A and B are shown apart, each in its own frame.
Chain A
């Protein structure tokens, strides 16, 4: 999902930066407010960031014969929504752009948009809808995490298709590179977070109650 340094014309860089910026500002203030009002949220914020750090550092092999990064943004999305996830993504993308030549400063806006805004946005919509409809937690978690990753990669494909060649033709090429590779990795990531959220509900219901209300019929 990292668009490489210098690979988007300045106009596109500007556009994506302008689209991402409001989410970053909103996310930044949300984090400040959360920490001030409810210090317990610090634990969840730290975990959200930590998962993005770990997972986005992995290049996992996919059945397509290439490898790709999970995004790790699903957890943050479920607990804090889009703004906070955008800030977390921004932090990790800065780290990768400056220290790893992975992604770039000029393409930062586009990369924050795909990883921190578009993916989390669609995933959050799905999460809210499924939670309201009373879908079982593991299915909700899996779907949300899967969407956060795959939509991020589809967004990257759209961003590149807009910038290069005929849109429809390039979109197919870019989607076949980014989205298809991501499917098995999205499943892996989905299972991981399904397990972690289940663990969290058992070990620390005080942290999960806000987002995953306990069901009355639940045993244990």
Chain B
């Protein structure tokens, strides 16, 4: 096995872990742990009142947009880097000839 095979194996394991999470919990809504944490707080201390509220809260669709924006910014940088490496390699090769 060369390194590419290991990469593929790695990606397959990653996908398998995430897919099995979904398959093992067919009826789950996969609520976030941050919210579950809030639920535990409410169970432990039902009278607790948050003393400060978020200045601004996006609606569902807007939240999706902004999360996607966050991911896109990061992915852009990583993709740019991968592209540069690829171009460098091609350039080196063409200069060797």
Q: A residues bordering B, Cβ < 8 Å?
A: 1-7, 9-10, 43, 46-47, 49-69, 92, 95-106, 153, 156, 160, 164-165, 170, 173-174, 177-178, 181-182, 184, 187-188, 191-192, 194-195, 198-199, 202-204
Contacts and interface: CB of A to CB of B under 8 A. Distances in A.
A54 B75 contact: yes
Contacts of A160: 37, 40-41
B74 A50 contact: yes
B25 interface: yes
Interface in B21-43: 21-22, 24-25, 28, 30-34, 36-38, 40-41, 43
Nearest to B30: A67
Interface of B: 3, 6-7, 10-11, 13-14, 17-18, 20-22, 24-25, 28, 30-34, 36-38, 40-41, 43-45, 48, 50-58, 63, 66-68, 70-71, 73-78, 81, 85, 89
A40 B9 CA distance: 32
Contacts of B53: 5-6
A178 B13 CA distance: 22
B33 to A, nearest CB: 4
Nearest to B27: A65
A23 to B, nearest CB: 22
Nearest to B12: A191
A158 to B, nearest CB: 12
B80 to A, nearest CB: 9
Nearest to A2: B34
Nearest to A181: B33
B20 A63 contact: yes
Given A61-B18, A174-B40, A98 B55 contact: yes
B66 to A, nearest CB: 5
> Which of A61, A165, A177, A199 has the largest number of chain B CB atoms within 10 A?
A61
Contacts of A2: 34
SS class, residues of chain A in contact with chain B: helix
A2 B95 CA distance: 50
B44 A203 contact: no
A177 B70 CA distance: 25
A101 B77 contact: no
A115 to B, nearest CB: 12
Nearest to B33: A68
B34 A204 contact: no
Contact of A178 (B33, B75, B77): B33
Contacts of A203: 85, 89
A68 B32 CA distance: 6
22 contacts: A47-B78, A47-B81, A50-B74, A50-B77, A53-B71, A54-B78, A63-B20, A66-B30, A68-B33, A99-B66, A101-B56, A160-B40, A173-B40, A178-B33, A178-B37, A181-B33, A192-B10, A192-B14, A198-B3, A198-B6, A203-B85, A204-B85
